[in-house]
Structure 1
Amino acid sequence: AFTKAAFIYPEDIALYGVSFNTNIGETAFAGEISYRQDEPLQIDDVELLYMAMPEQLANAGLRPDLAGISQLNNITLPNGQSGTTGPGEYAAGYLLSDTFQAQMTVSHIFGPALGTDNLVLLGEVAYVDVLDFMDPNIIRYNSPGTGRTPSLEPNTFTGSTGEGLHLGLSDGPETNPFSTQTSWGYRLLAVADYNNILGGVNLRARATFAHDVSGTTPDPLFLFLEDRKSASVVMTFDYLSKYAVSASYNAFWGGIGTTNALSDRDFVSLNFKYSY
């Protein structure tokens, strides 16, 4: 066999953070700023596959024209070795990066309002920055929906056929966007309670909306995927805090190209609960 894979659990990831919470009138505010040092981020899986097979075919002398096809040759891996990997050597599939994250949450309990017995609104916004983000022309972080390699700047490869082979092995260039240095999005939540709507039955209605506004975080952070949106509505009927029936509708849409694997996979769920 040319290659084998293994699960790696990087150690010594330092986390520094500060958080706060306070009330201004009837509105609650909370926030957090965190800094992660040497956080492992996944390298583009296409480049790992190129290192795993075509590069090893070249090392074995079976396809010498594929030598240098993997862009791991451009970098130094976390274990200090060159990305150039020979027979019997190990290539880390991740890069260590410092990341910054900030988030802010605002919530307000309105009490009886707009025909409800209690109304709660909550909003949260978050921002992520990969501080030492690699030049995508040199190496890319793994991203959802990127099963091919992109078109690269001229002269990326030293050989005259390198770029053509790089694209040809992945059946043409990737058109979906890769991870970005910065990304942000927001979440909204509304909860409305209606007491004793009929014969001791209470109703709680909950609606959520999520929007990843700009940028895509590298794997395995899975925080934001540009232009991805989702929403849900849940209606829960409760009788005497003993019987409950919940019905929900969940919708997913947005994303650029085919990056959002859940796009248009809406579903309905129904749940019955009995407590004793």
Structure 2
Amino acid sequence: MERIIPGVEDITIEGFKESFRNIVKLKENNGLKAILNNPPDLFERAKLYGVQFKNGSWGWASNIWHRSAAGTIVVENDSDLRYEYKLLMLRVLEHILAQGPLIQVDAILGKPGTKAEMHCRLYCDPQFPDIAYRWSQICFPGDPESKPDVELFCIPHYLGNPNIPGTSEMLRVLRFPYHNYSIVTCSSYQGEVKKSFLSHWIYHVYKMGGTGEHASLKEFTVKRIDGSEKRIVMCIWALTGTGKSTHGFYVFNEENAKIYQKLFGVNPLSYVR
């Protein structure tokens, strides 16, 4: 009988996706649901893991509160596949085989109908519906019937992850830019999914003739020298991962303005709001 999951030595980059599809087919042939295709009740599922605040908004915690950049490896071809990378790929396939149906979410990065459009498909562990829901809310909706440009497998569990060879850093994320997919493990930080798709999107735009950069925009009000106010937009243009969003999230109020006055002798409320 042909093995559904190959031995660790036989795993290849394309072979991983083939094994995944074989697992889906095996489950469906045996009457098991393998994929929850863009479930309409995704928000309700996510609420079970969230906290609703007094103002009605929802928030979710994650087991890691930052990106796992140091635990991320980019693999360009099969000759770069180290034993440790193959082992993690094997563990992910085993988990998908044993786990309940994965949540599938289709979405679009880039303006639909333009060269920047990229169809993304997320396969997320069903125990983390909030990741799938939150990511879906920052993208344009995608067609689940069309073929995706990029796929991401998000399994936010510890799977006996090996360390990155030659380091003490746990291997958590594998990115395959030339094969159009990524694998995220361990971390339930939603930004890991966002970043993974964004990395693929930047390469996609580069292939379309773009620069491989993107920008952060913030709209705010400034006070002019004559005392009048003007609404302006600030654009921070830089490579990914350089803090554009972070520096675009500043909100000044009476409390935090005191810190700026103490440290810098400037009251930001005199200039922006």
* TM class by smaller structure: under 0.3
Task: Tell me which protein shows more helix as a share of its residues.
Answer: 2
Q: Which structure shows the bigger proportion of residues in strand conformation?
A: 1
TM-score, length-normalised on structure 2?
0.26
Q: In terms of Rg, which structure is larger?
A: 1
Q: Normalised by the size of structure 1, how large is the TM-score?
A: 0.25
Higher RCO (C-alpha under 8 Å, 6+ residues apart)? 2
